[in-house]
Amino acid sequence: MIKMNTAHCAEHFQAAPWFILGGGAMGCLWAYDLSPNSIILVKPERYRHYTSGSTKSLITTQLAYQQTPFASPNTRKCKLANIQNYTSPILKLIVTTKAQDTVAALETIQHTLHSHAHILLLQNGMGSQQAVKKQFPEYTLWCGSTTQGAYTTDFLHVVHAGLGQTCIGPWYISTETNPRYSAIFQQQLITQGQQVIFIDDILPLLWRKLAVNACVNGLTVLFECKNGELLTHPKHLKWVKTLCQETAQFLDYKRIAYTKPLFQHVCHVLEQTAENYSSTYMDVSHQRSTELMYINGFILSEAKRLGLSLPTHTTLMAQLAEKGIF
């Protein structure tokens, strides 16, 4: 951890670059919108492959962006840093890694984090946020939930598949946090291009997003289908309905308010994203580990702690495990 010289601190914080930890679709989307003041942090093997073995710790390259799947790509300058030997201080960080990779990824760059660093976590599910707070209590943490849709066609080439908004709220604000830094952090994110809203209490929104994912993602893998097919097949829809009933019961027990019945909301999401494949489906199709332990798995662990039985969630996870999906 790096200490900051107190002279001109706010000015330094304002001018500091935005670092993106995680070079996937969401990471590229944020890097593009924050360009030219953004730096994507990547693993050494990816960095060496992309730079043909460069020994430099930082290069300037091009990031391609398509506003829609059929639009011509635009490019902006973007910096790429090798996390293995990059040592310049990090003040503003957005983490877009998979939930299961978040803590380990932060550990690799902890030596470059300022003592006053602000970190925005943008992970699916829950559990990783709590782990980061426990492991890194000295930093100011923010959490976000997004409805943006994006995918990559190649490294540093992102397609903005669906416009949405990102809600961000404080997760852990230490007593040492300078309120001027927080104000700068918020203002720069609000003005960067994407629709960003800051709210005081992010936790209920994270729970609601988790509830939708828990009723959708695992089923798309179990039945190997697009989101919309969960609505059109009676057997699939029965699973959705039962999962929604159990999840709504769980949310009620946790006293998490919902603006509309969960099943109604999930059906609306499935209609809006009918032609999409869930992120979990995409992980499985690319032979990557999934975030299900931070979605249905997190709900089940919380339910067990509360003495609640969620048999359909349990059955779903068991059937996926039989297929080697975790």
200 burial class (0-12, 13-18, 19+ CB within 10 angstroms)? exposed
Instruction: Report, in this order, helix, strand and coil percent for the chain, each rounded to 5.
Output: 45, 25, 30
- Residues 6+ away with beta carbon under 8 Å from 215: 240, 243, 244, 247, 262, 266
Closest among 294, 214, 305 to 254, alpha carbons compared: 305
Give the position of tokens 């932060």: 106
Strands 113-121 and 90-95: parallel
Catalytic residues: 209
Where helices occur in 59-127 by DSSP H, the ranges are: 102-109
- The answer for 175, left when phi > 0, alpha when psi is -120 to 50, beta otherwise, is alpha
Q: Taking the CA atoms of 6, 8, 10 and 12 in sequence, report the sign of the dihedral they define.
A: negative
Place of tokens 């840093």: 81
Token couple for 313: 């969630």
Strand duo 157-162 + 58-66: pairing: parallel
For residue 183, count other CB atoms closer than 10 A to its CB.
13
Asked if residue 17 has a cis previous peptide bond (ω within 30° of 0), the answer is no
| H runs (alpha helix) in the chain | 9-15, 25-34, 44-50, 102-109, 128-135, 179-190, 203-222, 229-232, 234-254, 262-272, 279-285, 296-306, 311-322
